[in-house]
Structure 1
């Protein structure tokens, strides 16, 4: 830890907790990531927190691919990716012109938007059906790209999209793993060379967190079939709403 003199003990604890929850979210309960994002933004600042989280997310994506790489409908991912890349560029430009308080507010807005979508889907359930139209792929892709770039908060958007399309559980996990691995790897050079919020120390920090991400990933794969997901989603929605609102104040 001596190579990170600027990190206080409480920050180390938050990073370790984030690493564990990222692992669980990637192989099990994706809603956990929505809770991690605003917490780290409050602790480290908006743009700095996205730099800390992104390399850890990529490690988590690799663990997820280890478990679910053979389960994915490629055509549904390919329909979104071109639009998602547009959303990433839009987020990259916006993020370069705002200060940290505005950045945190955008993260909060992104998270709250995703929470709204999750709550809406909870209420609609099986009644929610989405058409296979270009305008929809464009809307979902751009929104997912923008919220991913600004706050790594595109998970609920992509989840609602897949669930509304009736994707089964195994393919859901596989498609989520592939989609976010591609998106997060694409974001990496943008944040290194344009936002400059990922450094050598950031990668070293991620290296130290790999065991915790791995533990979380194993735990997530273990509990995904054993937990009452509906009750847990309600808990995550409530906690995340509180933390996201805290970013505004």
Structure 2
């Protein structure tokens, strides 16, 4: 007869990883929820952590359902602040980027792409900071080229490694949205993209398995409590402070992409 401890481990730890890895994964789930409903961008730190523990493509499959759960909670919390019109022009380009990534994902090394993406994000971020100090207010959404480039590169990056956060956050940041609108609009956009990505990960790349999904569902409460904590924390941050924080996190995330 199977012992209770063995049965509990089969349920709680279906991937049979060490408990230290399990608890780090749980912490990553909490951080994802915290990021999605509060301090946007901080969830990027989970990408290199999970990649080190599980490997590149597998870690992307483990992370994706956490992102979907986090987006769902964020949409629930900020549904009155969402504006689909701010990002709808990105969607066709983002879908094209996802499909391109699906086609080449198992053949291409994404190291060079990540490095170029990080350099481009840092360059665009430097441009925004420059305009902030100069008093000018560029809006990337008003440029057809920048919108197309953002959507295509972001779609590719989100499929390859769930690493499009800095690109899309930078796009929204350039529009100078209030913090709640920034979070809500990003949430509905990412939720749409992340749900679209799930079948590709499951059926084509096989980076999502029934066992990894079981692990995701076991850790859903951590995402939920992270989302509650993030929503509470962001309510105390003034608009200007929130903008500075997002800029700092985008810069840090880009450096992590270079170092990953």
Specify which of 110, 115, 128 is matched with residue 121 of structure 1. 128
* Greater mean deviation of Cα atoms: 203-212 or 8-17: 8-17
For structure 1, which runs of at least 5 residues remain unmatched after alignment? none
Residue 80, structure 1, aligned to residue 90, structure 2: yes
Equivalent residue number for residue 162 of structure 2? 152
Equivalent residue number for residue 178 of structure 1? 188
Equivalent residue number for residue 145 of structure 2? 135
Equivalent residue number for residue 193 of structure 1? 203
Rg (Cα) greater in structure = 2
For 1:52-91, what aligned pairs fall within 5 Å after superposition? 52-91=62-101
For structure 2, which runs of at least 5 residues remain unmatched after alignment? 1-8
Specify which of 95, 99, 103 is matched with residue 105 of structure 2. 95
For the 8 Å contact 1:83–1:141, the answer to whether it is kept is yes
Root mean square deviation of aligned Cα = 2.5
Equivalent residue number for residue 6 of structure 1? 16
- Secondary structure of the 2:142 match is coil
For the 8 Å contact 2:15–2:211, the answer to whether it is kept is no
- Measured in 1, the distance between the counterparts of 2:199 and 2:181 equals 29
Structure 1, residues 185-209: CA drift from partner, whole Å, max 9, x if none? 0000011111010011111111111
- Measured in 2, the distance between the counterparts of 1:156 and 1:243 equals 11
- Measured in 2, the distance between the counterparts of 1:52 and 1:108 equals 23
- Measured in 1, the distance between the counterparts of 2:26 and 2:94 equals 30
Structure 1, residues 75-115: CA drift from partner, whole Å, max 9, x if none? 222211111100111111221214xxx35665565456545
- Measured in 2, the distance between the counterparts of 1:85 and 1:93 equals 12
Q: State the TM-score, normalized to the length of structure 1.
A: 0.86
Say how many residue pairs are matched: 244
Residue 44, structure 1, aligned to residue 77, structure 2: no
